[in-house]
Amino acid sequence: MTVEKEVEERNPKSVLAVDLGIRWIATTVNSNNPKPKFYDKELRRVKGHYFYLRRSLALKKAYKTIKKIGNKERRVVNDILHKISRAIVNEALENDSMIVLGKLRGIRKNGKGRKFKRKLNNGFPYHRLSQFIEYKARWVGIKVIKISERNTSKTCHRCGHRGLRVGSLFKCPHCGYVCNADYNGAMNMLKRATGYMPIAGAGRALCPGLDTALNPVG
């Protein structure tokens, strides 16, 4: 059954940037508050569990069982994704934010390492999560835009120079800044997205707290 309703789009007063990744399926940063939120370790555990279970069953040639657990995995994963997307939309509602998502093209090309590629090929559900966030947001009148993620994981959000990702950390050899790599990506998404905000006065974006968000202390 399809349900439709007319929704008046809200006037955003801030930006909520959402960075999608492997270590954390989603990391958010709001222009009202530079402190990041991380979602959700449980999804990595579930995907890893079913990956090794399928591989074990394949060795036993238990193909009917593999199909059954595939259906169960999808239900479990969808439940987690609905909870994550609902939490992100609620965060946007609480802060009168528009939501910024990355265009997911090229994510396979950018990933390096066997573990990274195995998780992608195992169906890490970026597109599903993005779709869940988008339709939940639009249902309550929250504006959603999509922007390019190109180089957001490689650029230092503090100085703008190219840096290095080492495990879960981002390190900038130019300014010496070190932070969580997913946080760095989310901050770059936020900086890139602010150009989409409505303009007021002398060309300033309507982003309360943005100067603090883009230049956090410490």
Task: Give the CATH number of the domain where residue 136 resides.
Answer: 3.30.420
Answer yes or no: is 206 within a domain. no
Report the candidate in 37, 43, 25 with the shortest Cα–Cα distance to residue 183.
37
At residue 15, the pLDDT reads 95
Answer yes or no: is 180 within a domain. no
Answer yes or no: is 175 within a domain. no
Answer yes or no: is 126 within a domain. yes
pLDDT along the chain (218 residues), means of 10: 74 93 88 88 84 86 82 91 96 95 65 50 76 95 92 91 90 94 93 66 36 37
Domain that holds residue 101: 14-151
| CB burial of residue 45 (10 Å; 0-12, 13-18, 19+) | exposed
Query: What is the total count of domains within the chain?
Result: 1
At residue 108, the pLDDT reads 46
At residue 55, the pLDDT reads 87
Answer yes or no: is 128 within a domain. yes
At residue 196, the pLDDT reads 61
Answer yes or no: is 193 within a domain. no
Strand segments (E) across 155-214: 164-166, 169-171, 178-180, 199-200, 204-205
Answer yes or no: is 204 within a domain. no
Who contacts 204 (Cβ-Cβ below 8 Å, separation ≥6)?
Answer: none
Report the candidate in 84, 110, 91 with the shortest Cα–Cα distance to residue 185.
110
At residue 216, the pLDDT reads 39
Helix (H) or strand (E) holding 147: strand 144-148
Answer yes or no: is 1 within a domain. no
